[in-house]
């Protein structure tokens, strides 16, 4: 690749070495594909995020290409070559391809997207972009979101194409738009959220003119579909530096349109930390929850951490003694969580899990500092169900006090709870708590058929099991009969 940054040749040479190494790794696939396009009379270039990631030394097996071939021509070229072809995005000029190849004596699978040179813009009343095909790579690159994503490598000759200074911006770790940010965000308002997402993923700064345009045009995000907004928010939350992206969303006013519950927290005070607003507390909880993750980013845990206190603005009360209280904010917050996540088109299962964690996040504090009874531990485990491990993490993360003595006491208390849970689980198989008598046994003992009374009896036996632990069969039968007699 030719030198595109004469002012800093040493920095460029390092970047080039990384890029060449990455490109050589994928060249058996990329060059083979490029030759096929060349033989058919078309151009092909690696583009966008793939070039950016190659320059950063983190290119994976998802490869993006751009071409002057129209989608029908692309299909003719790739069908004899690919292991699988997808036409889901063909209306927008994109053909998806899977290609399995042996690289460095290792069998690998490459996920490839090939998109015809294009330009796209939103109508002010439309949620979908209008697509127009272009004839030059420069025309294609100028429509892209940021300069660091507006670079290409023409194949198979590996000529570096960088008409908008993306390499300089990559070196400076800054996000700028190829044209004016106003034009870019008018073309696709979701790019404003992408700015926040890339800042969070790459730990880049956003150029002042881009931030200003995001602030001025924040309301334009309303025309973007909830699904696209949700997907960008997920990528941001799952990034290495979500605080950076979330702060940008809040500061520019974008969060007012996509997650208004978050900026609302800036005005509140946490009852446990009177000198720390709930917004800052929430971001700390999110980062502390991330530190407890064991198997990579956990979307359920992270969203729960982000939303766990959103019920506080609606429940704030100023007490006579000068304190501020937020009674039942976890219950209100759980309802608000369901509503917001449903509006963002999250799956029912994820909505259920996150709202349940929000509802339960104060349960540990509700038991007080005294010795926990076995029944309290059983109910805690029963109510958390499969979310117990995440609830442990969320509860521990919710302690953001700077008082080391208090923080240590809370940590030790929760250590004690987890130890008690482990002991009881070993004794009783807590994960699958059931009454000592099942529905069929209850019907047989009481001599009645299916109906509401059986459900009431089952609930009574479950409460008895939670309160007292496992019972002998005869004792369970006696207790059931006594309860039934009391029902009249």
Average pLDDT of the segment spanning 279-293: 94
Mean of pLDDT values over 297-303: 97
Query: When comparing pLDDT for 460 and 37, which is higher?
Result: 37
Mean pLDDT of 441-448: 83
DSSP type of residue 204 = P
Q: Are 291 and 302 in contact (CB under 8 A)?
A: no
State mean pLDDT over 66-95: 93
Q: Write down the pLDDT at residue 129.
A: 61
Is the distance from CB of 43 to CB of 37 less than 8 angstroms?
Answer: yes
Question: What stretches of 85-239 show up as alpha helix (H) in DSSP?
Answer: 137-142, 166-172, 181-187, 190-202, 208-216, 226-237
pLDDT tens by residue, 311-334: 998 888 877 777 777 878 888 999
What is the per-residue pLDDT for 270? 47
More confident position, 19 or 115:
115
Question: How does DSSP assign 66-115, residue by residue?
Answer: EESS-HHHHHHHHTTT-SEEE-TTGGGTEEEEEEEEEETTEEEEEEEEEE
Q: Is the pLDDT of residue 454 over 90?
A: no
Per the CB < 8 A criterion, the answer to whether 117 and 105 are in contact is no
Kindly report the number of other CB atoms within 10 A of residue 386's CB atom: 9
Q: What is the pLDDT of residue 118?
A: 83
Pick from 101-105, 146-150, 213-217, 311-315: least confident: 101-105
Residue-level pLDDT at 451: 81
The pLDDT of 123-138, averaged and rounded, is: 72
Residues 339-370 pLDDT 10s: 999 999 999 999 999 999 999 998 887 655 55
Q: Residue 220's pLDDT band (boundaries 50, 70, 90)? A: very high
User: Is the pLDDT confidence value at 175 over 90?
Assistant: yes
Phi then psi for residue 113, to 5 deg, are: -120, 130
Q: pTM for this structure?
A: 0.79
Q: Are 39 and 6 in contact (CB under 8 A)?
A: no
Residue 467: per-residue pLDDT: 74
pLDDT > 70: percent of the chain: 88
Q: Is 318 in a helix, a strand, or coil?
A: strand
Mean pLDDT of the region 196-222: 96
| Positive or negative torsion for Cα 290, 292, 296, 302 | negative
Residue 100 has pLDDT above 50, yes or no: yes
Model confidence band, residue 5 (pLDDT cutoffs 50, 70, 90): very low
Question: Any bridge partners for residue 155, and if so which?
Answer: 44
CB 263 within 8 A of CB 250: yes
Tell me, what's the pLDDT at 434?
73
The answer to whether the CB of 119 falls within 8 A of the CB of 143 is yes
Kindly report the average pLDDT of the chain as a whole number: 85
Query: What pLDDT sits at residue 20?
Result: 67
Predicted confidence at residue 103, as pLDDT, reads 79
Q: Residue 17 has what pLDDT?
A: 66
- The tens digit of pLDDT for each residue in 246-256 reads 999 999 999 99
């Amino acid at each position: 690749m030719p030198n595109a940054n004469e002012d800093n040749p040493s920095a460029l040479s390092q970047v080039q070495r990384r890029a060449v190494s990455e490109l050589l790794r994928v060249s058996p696939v990329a060059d083979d594909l490029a030759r096929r396009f060349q033989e058919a009379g078309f151009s092909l270039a690696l583009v966008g995020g793939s070039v950016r990631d190659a320059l950063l030394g983190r290119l994976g097996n998802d490869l993006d290409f751009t071409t002057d071939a129209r989608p029908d021509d692309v299909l003719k070229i790739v069908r004899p070559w690919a292991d699988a072809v997808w036409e889901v995005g063909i209306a927008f000029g994109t053909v998806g391809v899977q290609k399995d190849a042996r690289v460095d004596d290792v069998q690998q699978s490459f996920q490839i997207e090939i998109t015809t040179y294009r330009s796209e813009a939103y109508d002010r009343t439309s949620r979908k972009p209008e697509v127009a095909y272009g004839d030059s790579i420069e025309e294609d690159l100028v429509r892209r979101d940021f300069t660091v994503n507006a670079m290409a490598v023409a194949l198979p000759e590996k000529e570096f194409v960088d008409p908008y200074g993306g390499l300089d911006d990559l070196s400076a770790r800054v996000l700028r738009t190829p044209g004016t940010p106003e034009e870019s965000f008018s073309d696709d308002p979701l790019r404003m959220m992408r700015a926040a997402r890339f800042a969070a993923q790459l730990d880049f700064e956003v150029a002042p003119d881009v931030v200003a345009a995001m602030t001025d045009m924040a309301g334009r995000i309303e025309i973007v579909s909830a699904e696209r907004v949700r997907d960008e928010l997920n990528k941001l939350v799952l990034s290495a530096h979500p605080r950076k992206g979330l702060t940008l969303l809040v500061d520019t006013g974008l969060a007012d349109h996509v997650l208004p519950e978050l900026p609302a927290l800036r005005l509140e005070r946490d009852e446990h930390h009177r000198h720390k607003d709930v917004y800052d507390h929430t971001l700390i909880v999110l980062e502390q929850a991330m530190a407890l993750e064991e198997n990579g980013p956990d979307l359920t845990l992270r969203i729960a951490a982000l939303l766990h206190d959103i019920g506080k603005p609606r429940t704030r009360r100023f007490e006579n003694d000068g304190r501020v209280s937020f009674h039942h904010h976890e219950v209100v917050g759980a309802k608000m969580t369901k509503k917001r996540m449903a509006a963002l088109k999250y799956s029912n299962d994820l909505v259920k899990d996150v709202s349940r964690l929000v509802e339960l996040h104060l349960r540990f504090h509700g038991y007080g500092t005294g010795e926990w009874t076995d029944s309290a531990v059983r109910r805690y485990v029963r109510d958390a169900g499969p979310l117990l491990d995440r609830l442990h993490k969320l509860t521990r993360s919710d302690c953001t006090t700077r008082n080391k003595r208090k923080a240590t006491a809370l940590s030790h208390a929760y250590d004690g709870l987890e130890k008690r849970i482990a002991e009881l689980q070993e004794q009783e198989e807590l994960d699958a708590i059931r009454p000592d008598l099942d529905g069929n046994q209850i019907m047989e003992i009481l001599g009645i058929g299916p109906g509401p009374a059986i459900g009431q009896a089952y609930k009574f036996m479950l409460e008895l099991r939670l309160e007292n632990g496992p019972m002998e069969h005869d004792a369970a039968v006696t207790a059931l009969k006594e309860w039934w007699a009391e029902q009249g």
